[in-house]
Structure 1
Amino acid sequence: MTNIRTINPSTFGPALFPYSQATVAGGFVYIAGQVALDDDNNVVSPGDAYEQTKVTLDRISRVLAEVDGTLEDIVTATVFVPSLDHLPEFNRAWQEVFGDHRPARATVVAGLLIDGLVVEVQSTAVLRQTS
């Protein structure tokens, strides 16, 4: 039997689609694409890549807190934006939040599922070793 655990923080609104916010398996946390939604599933700062990046990374941080992790545990991320015009403000917020930590990252230009969203981040983190 496979040992896979799902994570759905109680502070998040209900998932808008049939998925978990993250799954834990094989020493990693696989975090679903996170976007700038408040806890009632309203889009935060429509069209503002800087603010949406901050909110999105906060959501990722909250998912990781469920397994005693932090953003420092992120090893890779895939970023989705509807236009490369959003990258300068995305990168500014990303660098402010991550500081010197530099996870591997890919950027994809893609349509996002909810009007007003301009940033989505899917990521993978390593689980911290517990003694």
Structure 2
Amino acid sequence: MAHTIINSSKAPAPIGPYSQATMANGILYVSGQIALDQQTGNLVNENIESETHQVMKNLGAILEEAGMNFSNVLKCTIFVKDLNNFGRINDTYGSYFTSNPPARETVEVSRLPKDVNVEISCIATK
């Protein structure tokens, strides 16, 4: 099966051997994004809301590169280090889906890349 690699210069470069996203048969699979600021290379982690906003901004840049936006998202996976932050993450995340939110799961994990508090991946289609 042929697939296309999607990389946005507006989102941070991968920190390992993976692509920001791949497109196959009209479906976009976006790798988990953390709160790295593409311009500075620094983590945005003053609080869980700013961290979540940066993650969503990175996802949005990749979606845009593929000619999509958050309305094209079918499913998200949210990984959190502390489920006690769920409400605050959920409020921030929800502001990006004004109608017809995608399917989703949220999973608490013991550790995430660069010791961030939240990582989100998504699947989208046109």
Scaled by the length of structure 1, the TM-score of the pair is 0.88
- Rounded to whole Å, the distance in 2 between the matches of 1:62 and 1:72 is 14
Amino acid at match of 1:5: T
Unaligned residue ranges in structure 2 (runs of 5+): none
Report matched runs for 1:1-131 at 5 Å. Answer: 2-39=1-38, 40-46=40-46, 48-110=47-109, 111-115=111-115, 117-126=116-125, 128=126
Q: Is the Cα contact below 8 Å between 1:29 and 1:125 reproduced in 2?
A: yes
User: 1:60-102: per-residue Cα shift (whole Å, max 9, x none)?
Assistant: 1110111210010000011000111110110110122212231
**What is the percent sequence identity of the aligned residues?**
31
User: 1:28-50: per-residue Cα shift (whole Å, max 9, x none)?
Assistant: 0000001110014321125x221
CA RMSD across the alignment: 1.3
- Rounded to whole Å, the distance in 2 between the matches of 1:49 and 1:24 is 30
- Figure out how many residues of one structure are paired with residues of the other and give that number: 124
Unaligned residue ranges in structure 1 (runs of 5+): none
Change (3 A) 1:26 1:102: same
Larger radius of gyration between Structure 1 and Structure 2: 1
Q: Is the Cα contact below 8 Å between 1:4 and 1:25 reproduced in 2?
A: yes
- Rounded to whole Å, the distance in 1 between the matches of 2:90 and 2:68 is 23
Scaled by the length of structure 2, the TM-score of the pair is 0.91
Q: Is the Cα contact below 8 Å between 2:81 and 2:108 reproduced in 1?
A: yes
Q: Is the Cα contact below 8 Å between 1:54 and 1:97 reproduced in 2?
A: no
C-alpha displacement of 1:113: 1.5
C-alpha displacement of 1:17: 0.7
- Rounded to whole Å, the distance in 2 between the matches of 1:14 and 1:76 is 22
Spell out structure 1 runs of 4+ moving beyond 6 A. none
